[in-house]
Amino acid sequence: MNTIKMTLDYPEDILLALNETSEEFSKRLKILGAVKLYELSKLSLGKASELAGMDKISFIAELDKCKVPVIKYPLESLKQEIDTLKDLIDEE
């Protein structure tokens, strides 16, 4: 896999405020960026977990921590599916 290195400028006191090293902060930004890009449907689960440097299961756990749903299913569609299932059950 080819990678691109990115440099980010930020105030030094950010690390003090977060009580993190630059490596920890960099890792945090990668994970949060991947979570947000997944939430916005810009990246698939696989690509987002790859960006975060995590396996899919760990990334799903991270999504849960950030309260981002793994499955994006519109509520109205879910209601229609449930109604269809109820109709099928009633027919039996």
Is residue 18 included in any domain, yes or no?
Answer: yes
> What confidence tens digit (pLDDT) does each residue in 20-79 have?
999 999 999 999 999 999 999 999 999 999 999 999 999 999 999 999 999 887 888 888
What pLDDT, on the 0 to 100 scale, is given for residue 58? 98
Is residue 3 included in any domain, yes or no?
Answer: no
Looking at per-residue pLDDT, the higher value among 66 and 91 belongs to 66
What pLDDT, on the 0 to 100 scale, is given for residue 67? 96
What pLDDT, on the 0 to 100 scale, is given for residue 76? 86
Is residue 40 included in any domain, yes or no?
Answer: yes
The structural domain count of the chain equals 1
Is residue 51 included in any domain, yes or no?
Answer: yes
1 pLDDT more than 80: no
Domain of residue 50, residue span: 13-91
Integer Cα distance of 63 and 51 in angstroms? 14
> Which residue in 62, 78, 75, 64 sits closest to 28, CA to CA?
62
